[in-house]
Structure 1
Amino acid sequence: MEFIFDAKHQESVNKKLSSGNVVVSKLLIFPIKSCEGTSVVESTYTTDGLEFDRWWTIIDASNHKLFTARAIPKMVLIRPKVVQDPTDPDGGRLEISFPSDSDCETFSVPLRPTPSTLQQWTLVEDCSVHSMTNMDGYITQPHSSSGSEASLCSAVLSRFMGRPVHLIFKGPRPRPAAPTWSFEKLDPFVGYHDGYPLHVASEESMEGVKAMVKKWSQEHAEDSSDPQIWDTKSMVIERYRPNIVFKGAVVPFAEDMWREIVISPASGFKGNSPPSGALIRLLPNVDPASGLRNMSVPSKPLLKFRKGLDPGRPAFSCFGANAVPAGEGILRVGDVIAVKTWDNV
């Protein structure tokens, strides 16, 4: 089973692009790394990504390592909600809630903490995740409107996580993203993202993933060591945690060939896209609705059908593309996507 993006397919995509049929169908932000995402109809952005996206993360209280849903799948059930308030000095609050059976109460933290607010918080300067080190963050305290003790945030999260943890807000130290094989001079800065400010993917690519999972499952139905047949209905694009989802590109994985894109009417936006940039590990195997992880899918099917597409990491499979905004502006659902430059064209 192969998905081949050839010159004929590119011509078809170009026709769709020129007719304005390729549009943003969904915008997603993930305020707390590895926790539930929020679908929004519009979002402001800077060169660092969408507003509020991965501004917070959860760390181990003892060694300051970041936790992700790869290790603790139920993190995807933590629900952050952005509540903006222009009359609030801190811009509003991030309201954090938990599953009803968790016995964990909802609490809120400042949304855009002011310098005076941050001065009251402890700065942790030695956070790390995967192979990335030297990350910083402020240990958050409850929003002033809650009247709660300073330890509430850590206490509630620790109860849910089953170990001592802290919620931290990105600190002042710039965190550059590494250059890619296709963009050696790329120099974006990120919050608590794994690598780049944005992840772009298409609805058509997600349908391609479902087809791959279905075929792989059928091939392994009689394999006693891996008997699971995956319900593709649970294969939602949120598993891959993209920021910008588009539709109308005719074929799956058209974004593999996009090097620079312009999204209009948002002015000044270009996506510098390392092709096939989103590397698949175990996080997409976690069902965002249940918090349960399957150890096989979609990671194993994608390793069979989508491996070796990123020359920089040939052992990994890929879905979607990483992206870096070239400026600032507002993105909206319904904005039209145009490809400025294609890969190897």
Structure 2
Amino acid sequence: MTMITITDINIFPLKSCKGFTVKSWPYTDKGFKFDREWMLISVKRNCQITQREYPKMSLIEASLTESLEYLIIKTPDNPLELRIPTKLPDYPKMDTVVLFGNEVNAVDMGDEAADHLSAFLNYKVRLMKTPDDHVRKPAQELFDDSMNDVVTKTVFNNDKSLVAPILNSSFADNFPFLVIADISLEDLNKKATDQIEMLRFRPNIVVTGTKQPFEEDTWHFIEINGENKSGFYCATCCDRCTIPNVNPSKGVKDVDVRVVLSSFRRNNKNQPLFGVYLLCTSKEGTISVGDTIQVVKSKDPPQLISA
């Protein structure tokens, strides 16, 4: 019997910028450790900026030192690299910024980082980090019906018969984890003129071994079996913005992936879907390449409309 197995793990420390691939990585109640714990904000608008408006952000490299003590940021225009401590001071100064219309607390990482990144983007930005006690719950209207039922029972009605999801994330768009099956991308590429690489979709986890394309749409609750058994709810499918249109190695929009997806993967809100979001049920653990996934409970796939 073919097992569903994790083949790739991607960490994106700086939101909407280039990340790195690992074989094994710890997670917390906010997602993979350090994943999207930093973001760039517009000085003018005091809100997040992403590849949607600034596709060059895909060329900003963000990695971590082996000790995990520093975030390393590199830009193609500057031979110097930024080294940002990952540990915040005991009592950092908090700023209020806007992330997709909602106010969140964030810590400014200083003028050197801001000047370096502003020069590359030719736009004034500040580098911000999540506070250690950061809590950012996804809006309930984002959940699909099956997940909404779980949240209502466990969070609002205190139903102990179900394991409760942890509702938290760092600076991710909506949810802390994104998973895509390799066969789903293969199916998409059968319909595309130009071959589309997986990194355009910025998944944290890539899996192999599903029997059908987009089988991950039907997962309701899964267990990842590795160093420890970890339970995850599949909160909803990911409705795709224009970021997959960006060529991550060139920093320009060159393929309209949304048009291809919309031809066969459009929901009743006219949103193209690709990948599923996960919510963990434990506050810490480790996920590794080679870990297997067991689908404990399934659900109906999303309703799609014809092109």
Alignment root-mean-square deviation, CA: 1.8
Match of 1:183 among 130, 147, 170: 147
Aligned AA (2:39): T
1:278 is matched with: 238
Post-superposition CA distance 1:290-336 (Å, at most 9, x none):
11103x5211010111001xxxx632010110001111211000001
Contact 1:188 1:197 in 2 (8 A): no
1:73 is matched with: 55
SS of residue paired to 1:210:
helix
1:42 and 1:260 map into 2 onto residues whose CA distance is 22
Q: CA deviation at 1:104?
A: 6.0
**Structure 1 runs (4+) greater than 4 angstroms displaced:** none
Alignment of 1:214-225 (within 5 A): 214=193
- Within the alignment, does 1:124 sit opposite 2:95 as a pair? yes
Alignment of 1:211-290 (within 5 A): 211-214=190-193, 230=194, 232=195, 235-275=196-236, 277-290=237-250
1:112 and 1:341 map into 2 onto residues whose CA distance is 39
Contact 1:47 1:189 in 2 (8 A): yes
Post-superposition CA distance 1:176-220 (Å, at most 9, x none):
112313212155111100000100111111111111213xxxxxx
Q: Any stretches of 5+ residues in structure 2 without a counterpart?
A: 152-164, 302-307
- Within the alignment, does 1:98 sit opposite 2:98 as a pair? no
Q: What is the number of residues matched between the two proteins? A: 281
Q: CA deviation at 1:135?
A: 1.4
SS of residue paired to 1:245:
strand
Match of 1:139 among 108, 132, 136: 108
2:191 and 2:89 map into 1 onto residues whose CA distance is 47
Contact 1:271 1:323 in 2 (8 A): yes
Match of 2:42 among 50, 56, 60: 60
2:281 and 2:166 map into 1 onto residues whose CA distance is 11
1:212 and 1:47 map into 2 onto residues whose CA distance is 37
Q: CA deviation at 1:97?
A: 0.4
Aligned AA (2:50): T
Change (3 A) 1:104 1:123: farther
- Within the alignment, does 1:297 sit opposite 2:256 as a pair? yes
2:88 is matched with: 113
- Within the alignment, does 1:315 sit opposite 2:275 as a pair? no
SS of residue paired to 1:330:
strand
Q: CA deviation at 1:289?
A: 0.9
Q: CA deviation at 1:54?
A: 0.4
1:32 is matched with: 14
Contact 2:166 2:280 in 1 (8 A): no
Q: CA deviation at 1:173?
A: 4.3
- Within the alignment, does 1:306 sit opposite 2:265 as a pair? yes
Post-superposition CA distance 1:209-240 (Å, at most 9, x none):
111213xxxxxxxxxxxxxxx3x1xx211111
Q: Which has the higher strand share?
A: 2
2:134 and 2:291 map into 1 onto residues whose CA distance is 33
Post-superposition CA distance 1:82-124 (Å, at most 9, x none):
1142xxxxx510010011xx24631110023242xx53xx421
Q: Any stretches of 5+ residues in structure 1 without a counterpart?
A: 1-14, 86-90, 142-150, 215-229
SS of residue paired to 2:190:
helix
Post-superposition CA distance 1:247-266 (Å, at most 9, x none):
11132111011111111124
1:169 and 1:104 map into 2 onto residues whose CA distance is 24
Q: How many percent identity over aligned positions?
A: 25
Aligned AA (1:270): G
Post-superposition CA distance 1:268-305 (Å, at most 9, x none):
41221134x111110011011111103x5211010111
Q: Which moved more, 1:73-82 or 1:248-257?
A: 248-257
Contact 2:235 2:279 in 1 (8 A): no
Contact 2:134 2:170 in 1 (8 A): no
Post-superposition CA distance 1:50-82 (Å, at most 9, x none):
011000000012331100001100101000111
1:244 and 1:289 map into 2 onto residues whose CA distance is 20
Scaled by the length of structure 2, the TM-score of the pair is: 0.87
Change (3 A) 1:155 1:104: farther
2:15 and 2:71 map into 1 onto residues whose CA distance is 13
Match of 1:161 among 116, 121, 124: 121
1:12 is matched with: none
Contact 1:84 1:111 in 2 (8 A): no
Larger radius of gyration: 1
2:289 is matched with: 333
1:60 and 1:287 map into 2 onto residues whose CA distance is 23
Contact 1:70 1:282 in 2 (8 A): yes
1:204 is matched with: 183
